[in-house]
Amino acid sequence: MSLWQTITGTVALLCVAASSGAANNQVSHLYDTEISRTVKLPYLLHVPSNYKEDPSRRWPLLLYLHGGSVRGSEIDKVRTLGLPKRLDHDPQFPFIVVSPLAPEGEIWTDVEALAGLVDFVQLTHRVDPGAVYVTGHKHGRPRRFTWLTSIRSGSRASSR
């Protein structure tokens, strides 16, 4: 039986209002579940501003892995660089974007936690299962390949 079939525990989704002067579709969340251990992974979730217009539409999902200078416990650090920074100014960006925050001193090696987070977002949002992508910035880039080779015996997501 695969890890994904044996996920147990309670999944809590905590929304934290983002403090920004501009209207914003990128909201802070905390993915909190037990996989083979308890995982607490803060992340930003961007949903396109027109997401609710067509309830039958499925959206591509992009997992964005930040670089090493952003690690820690303050989720708003993720907004300062790369794609999350752009999303604060582009509410119609046509992807659901998940931007997790790596703990201080760690790099993107916890593939189970990342996979669980992506699975959770796929369950709670209208994601096109054939359009799940992963990209990264600096130390997030090499982890794309770990992601691709370590999950579900083959291609879980595309890496661009």
Instruction: Report the CATH number that the domain containing residue 12 is assigned in CATH.
Output: 3.40.50.1820
Helices (H), 42-99: 82-87
Q: Which residues in the chain land under pLDDT 50? A: 1-21, 145, 149-156, 158-160
Residue 6: predicted pLDDT: 30
Instruction: Say which amino acid occupies 55.
Output: P
Q: What is the pLDDT of residues 76-118, one digit of tens each?
A: 999 998 999 999 999 999 999 999 999 888 877 788 888 889 9
The tally of domains found in the chain comes to 1
Q: What domain range includes position 87?
A: 3-159
Q: Which two tokens stand for residue 53?
A: 């217009």
pTM for the whole structure: 0.71
Q: CB of 140 within 8 A of CB of 65?
A: yes
Q: Which residue has the tokens 């015996």?
A: 153
Residue 85: predicted pLDDT: 94
Residue 13: predicted pLDDT: 27
Residue 51: predicted pLDDT: 97
Q: CB of 69 within 8 A of CB of 141?
A: no
Residue 17: predicted pLDDT: 31
